[in-house]
Structure formats: structure tokens, C-alpha cells
Structure 1
Amino acid sequence: MKIIVSKNFSPSRAWEALDIANFDGTSVRLHWTDQPYRWHINDGEEVFVVLDGVVEMHYRERGEVHKVMLSVGDIFFASVGTEHVAHPQGAARVLVIEKEDSV
């Protein structure tokens, strides 16, 4: 059993992660960041949950860039092949559930 108080997770660098669980090839990780990630396409599906802060998620559909602002409790689901990049607006903590060893 684990109990994690996400607001207490404050690593030394952006996108550093705390591994929470790994099951059936799926990883569950808590990330802290105050910097954008990079444009990427995951090896599988991804669930991205904002736990603290605000994140502007950019994603491409048919070559066009779209943006959505995600607040605490909001969830972004990236289906296979969805190119995306997270831009935190200040510090943010996010829960990411994805295929183990995904980008």
C-alpha cells in the first residue's frame, strides 16, 4: 500500500517523476514541472491528469495545432498517434498513466 501526498512532491528538475505503480506494462507516475515538455507521440495511449496547477496542452490533429487549458481535475487523453506537448503555466503536478517506457 502507498499513500502519496502529491503536493509534497517537489523534485529538483522539471519533469522528474515519482513512480507510483507499474502493472501489466502500464506505468503510473507523478510528475512535477514548471517547463514545457517537447512535442512527442507516445508508443501507446496516455492519460494525463492535472493534480496541481494549470497546464496548456497543445496537440495536433490533421496538421493543425489546437490548445486547451487544463485545470486541477482535468484529464487529457492522448490516443495512439496523437502528437502533443504540455506547457505548464507556472508549477504543476500531473499524474501520467501510459505504456511502460513510453516517450
Structure 2
Amino acid sequence: MKVIRSKEYTASQAWGAQDIANMNGISTRLHWTNKPYKWHVNDGEEVFVVLDGMVDMFYKQAGQELSTCLNVGDIFYASIGTEHVAHPVGEARILVIEQQGSI
């Protein structure tokens, strides 16, 4: 049993994470960040939920770079092969659900 107050979570570095659960190889982690990540493609699917703050999500689709602004409660689903990068606007707290060990 855990109660996690996501708004209170901070990390010592950008994209630091608190592990919440690992269910049959699927990890759920709470991330805190104030800096962009890097362009990447996950090893599998990824669900990205903004819990606090705002995130500009950049992604590539059919060779074209696109972006969308994610606010609290918004969910970004990256299917297999979706190249993407998250740029927080200030601080953000994000719930990420993905295959364990994925980048």
C-alpha cells in the first residue's frame, strides 16, 4: 500500500523518478523535471500523463516534426516507433507507464 502525493515529489536532477509499481514487466514511475529530455524511441509503448505543470511534447509523424501542449490531466500515448521528446514549461511532474527498462 502506498499513498504518493505527486505535487510534493521532487528529484535531485531532471527526470529523476520514484518507482511506484512494476506489474508483469510494465513499470509505473513518477518523474519530476524542469529540463527537456532527449529525442528517443521507447522499446515499447509509453503512456505519459501530466500530473502537475505543463509540457510541450514534440514528436515525429510521417517524417514531420509536430508538437502539442500537454496540461494537467492530459495524456500522451507513444505507440511503438514514435520518436518524441518532452519539454517541460518550468517544473512538471509526470506519470510514465512503459515497459520496464525502457529509455
Q: Matched residue of 2:7: which SS?
A: helix
In structure 1, the residue matched to 2:56 is 56
Report the Cα distance in structure 2 between the residues aligned to 1:10 and 1:102, rounded to whole angstroms: 21
In structure 1, the residue matched to 2:14 is 14
Report the TM-score, using the length of structure 1 for normalisation: 0.99
Report the TM-score, using the length of structure 2 for normalisation: 0.99
What one-letter code is carried by the residue in structure 2 that aligns with 1:6? S
Q: Matched residue of 1:7: which SS?
A: helix
Runs of 4+ in 1 over 3 A off after TM superposition: none
Q: Matched residue of 1:65: which SS?
A: strand
What one-letter code is carried by the residue in structure 1 that aligns with 2:52? D
Report the Cα distance in structure 2 between the residues aligned to 1:57 and 1:13, rounded to whole angstroms: 20
RMSD: 0.4
Identity rate, percent? 62
Equivalence map 1:1-103=2 (5 Å)? 1-103=1-103
Q: Matched residue of 1:44: which SS?
A: coil
Provide, for residues 33-68 of structure 1, a one-character-per-residue CA deviation record: whole Å limited to 9, x for no partner. 000000000000000000000000000011100000
What one-letter code is carried by the residue in structure 2 that aligns with 1:5? R
